Amino acid sequence: SAVISQKPSRDICQRGTSLTIQCQVDSQVTMMFWYRQQPGQSLTLIATANQGSEATYESGFVIDKFPISRPNLTFSTLTVSNMSPEDSSIYLCSVGGQDQPQHFGDGTRLSIL
Amino acid sequence: AQRVTQPEKLLSVFKGAPVELKCNYSYSGSPELFWYVQYSRQRLQLLLRHISRESIKGFTADLNKGETSFHLKKPFAQEEDSAMYYCALSQHNAGNMLTFGGGTRLMVKP
């Protein structure tokens, strides 16, 4: 399976600031996704990162808050904007393809003070 | 809308005992079901997918469309099986996006 590198692995940020999380894959992949895992909770899909076009967001998530880029088939970024303590979560990148199961990165543990 | 339910947040068993982690789903189409596992300090990783019909680390799971279930079973639990287990559902017509259950923490006691 593809090797997924996610950076940073963790960060502590001040409220009101923004953080960009990077996801790099060692091979071209069709699908890239971003999930959020709030403390003690399961994973929730934020959006599907579409190469060359705007991301597809799930209900409850908006582009202004979570802008996503996907400039090519091996890289994507998720920005968490104007952070508040409620954004403290683990953010995970995953990759997959048609008929291929998703594989996950290590995640980014984000704490907002 | 699709939904995945794992009724037990915590399951504690003794080593050598059988294990069954329950997963029920609701989805009007033809789903694909997965079990993912997260060991302590490790990334989330795929354990099983229903279409593979294989046994991984002694675990099996059978899709029961009549009961809309995909329970994970192992006849003899090992201490190294202690982890967080997530059941997930994929919709083929939605780009393979996953819907996760709430997760079950399995603790295998010596």
| DSSP state, residue B69 | B
What's the pLDDT at B96?
73
**All structural domains of chain B with their residue ranges:** 3-109
What's the pLDDT at B53?
76
A and B: number of Cβ contacts within 8 A: 46
CB A94 within 8 A of CB A33: yes
Domains of chain A in start order, with CATH, are 10-98 (2.60.40.10)
Is A92 close to B44, i.e. CB distance below 8 A?
yes
The predicted-structure confidence for A60-108, as pLDDT tens digits, reads as follows: 999 999 999 999 999 999 999 999 999 999 999 999 877 778 899 999 9
The predicted-structure confidence for A13-34, as pLDDT tens digits, reads as follows: 999 999 999 999 999 988 899 9
What's the pLDDT at A10?
96
Mean pLDDT estimate for chain B:
91
Mean pLDDT confidence for B79-96: 85
Class of domain B3-109: mainly beta
Is B49 close to A31, i.e. CB distance below 8 A?
no
Chain A residue with minimal CA distance to B49?
A101
The predicted-structure confidence for B1-47, as pLDDT tens digits, reads as follows: 789 999 999 999 999 999 999 999 998 878 889 999 999 989 999 99
Is B95 close to A31, i.e. CB distance below 8 A?
yes
Mean pLDDT confidence for B53-77: 92
Q: Is residue B92 over pLDDT 80? A: no
What's the pLDDT at B93?
55
Q: Is residue B75 over pLDDT 90? A: yes
Q: Does B104 touch chain A (CB under 8 A)?
A: no
What's the pLDDT at B95?
56
